[in-house]
Amino acid sequence: MIFTGFTKEFEERCLRKIEMTARSNKKPQKNRNTFVKRIKPFVIGLYAVVIMGIGVGLFSMLDEPVVRSPEIPATENKIDEDVLAVVAELGDEGAVTVPVSGLDQLVPERKTPSWEKNAVTLAEVTGPEVAIVIDDLGLSREATDRLERMPGPYTLAYLPYAEDLPAQTGKVRQAGHELMVHLPMEPKGVAADPGTNALLLDLPEAEFERRIKWNLQQFDGFVGINNHMGSRLTEAAGPMVRVMMHLKADGYLFLDSLTSANSVGLSAAKATGVPTVSRDIFLDNIQRVEDIWEQLAKVERIARKRGYGIAIGHPYSVTLDVLAEWRETLAAKGITLVPISQIIKEKLERDHRLALLDEELAGD
């Protein structure tokens, strides 16, 4: 068994300890929501430290040979200094900006991460960029056939329990689209069924591990994952860190579908060094032509203001009809349709430039 167990009692002890530390600092809190925002990434960092030892077990998952680093001694009941730095560097949105110490030694990143190897490459892009992700693919061959004929590049997220995935994903990738695994996770709704081999909170550790691996082995050529449902699981720090450690080891990215406003997915990804972004809007919660056009206009406005926008849609006929028309309008608007990897790549490059600038300013 690779991963250390995470019990509810352990999480409660962590939260109680953090609350006691916060009270001892005697710093006024703006409100309870601010406190909760600070607690979540702290717990994520603590979880990441506890499971740091899994990296050795994950070495076998890497294709390229690595040099084994000296063991990092376990520190029971001691918080890693970099985890403390995570808390100190939290912004208003609760984003983690400092990775966990020692992670690159235990789970070394591939020289060329899988998300880069499998990415759709574009010529240099100028102007606003929009990524359109189509979820829930694989169950309808008709949708796959239609997307194969549509000019892209779209980012296509396939359910890992669908049938004939190598053939379906191979044809759309050959057509110039980018692939993701639409990984099923536990929702809050009792009636909602995330599907076969979904990640659930009450799974035994070994079964949780088996399901992560199974979901990532159903087809090749994808750049990363986004969550299918998952409004319950994405709020749980421990399970999300486990998922991220696999993505880190294999060199994949994470797109948070944000099925819960309280998702810790971004913080878990940042704490473990996984490239990540989150979606901005859903296109087709209302499956009407005029409403989908309105949502596309929203993502365009986001892209003009921020430089990029990310929208998630589904393989409904009405959605694909509107997208086919919308795609033809982009050149006149000066907007470029890009795969999700393009946004990740540019985001990492911006972060790197800012880090270099900070170093230069600190040295002056």
Q: Containing domain of residue 124, as a range? A: 114-353
Does 200 share its domain with 279?
Answer: yes
Does 164 share its domain with 272?
Answer: yes
- Place 1 in a pLDDT band, splitting at 50, 70 and 90: very low
Q: How far apart are CA 254 and CA 268, in angstroms?
A: 10
Q: How far apart are CA 225 and CA 275, in angstroms?
A: 11
Quick one: pLDDT at residue 217? 98
Does 152 share its domain with 289?
Answer: yes
Does 217 share its domain with 345?
Answer: yes
Instruction: Name the pairing type of β-strands 336-337 and 308-313.
Output: unpaired
Quick one: pLDDT at residue 124? 82
Identify the residue with better confidence: 266 or 49: 266
The whole-chain average pLDDT of the chain stands at 81
CATH number of the domain at 159, please. Answer: 3.20.20.370
Unique residue bearing structure tokens 């406005």: 301
Q: How far apart are CA 228 and CA 136, in angstroms?
A: 8
- Place 39 in a pLDDT band, splitting at 50, 70 and 90: low
**132-158, pLDDT tens digit by residue?**
999 999 999 999 999 999 999 999 999
The stretch 185-205 carries a mean pLDDT of 97
Quick one: pLDDT at residue 158? 99
Does 88 share its domain with 173?
Answer: no
Whether the pLDDT of residue 232 is over 80: the answer is: yes
Q: Which of 84, 106, 128 is where one domain is finished?
A: 106
Q: How far apart are CA 312 and CA 132, in angstroms?
A: 6
Tally the domains of the chain: 2
Q: How far apart are CA 238 and CA 271, in angstroms?
A: 12
Whether the pLDDT of residue 62 is over 50: the answer is: no
Whether the pLDDT of residue 40 is over 70: the answer is: no
Does 158 share its domain with 270?
Answer: yes
Q: Which of 72, 87, 106 is where one domain is finished?
A: 106
Q: How far apart are CA 231 and CA 254, in angstroms?
A: 16
Quick one: pLDDT at residue 108? 59
Query: SS3 for 211-251, per residue?
Result: HHHHHCCCCCCCCEEEEEECCCHHHCHHHHHHHHHHHHHHC
Does 93 share its domain with 125?
Answer: no
Does 154 share its domain with 247?
Answer: yes
Does 89 share its domain with 153?
Answer: no
Residue 3 maps to a domain: no
Residue 289 maps to a domain: yes
The pLDDT > 70 percentage for the chain reads: 70
**10-33, pLDDT tens digit by residue?**
445 444 443 454 455 444 444 445
Does 47 share its domain with 134?
Answer: no
Identify the residue with better confidence: 167 or 62: 167
**93-109, pLDDT tens digit by residue?**
344 444 555 555 555 55
Amino acid at 64: E
Whether the pLDDT of residue 286 is over 90: the answer is: yes
Does 219 share its domain with 245?
Answer: yes
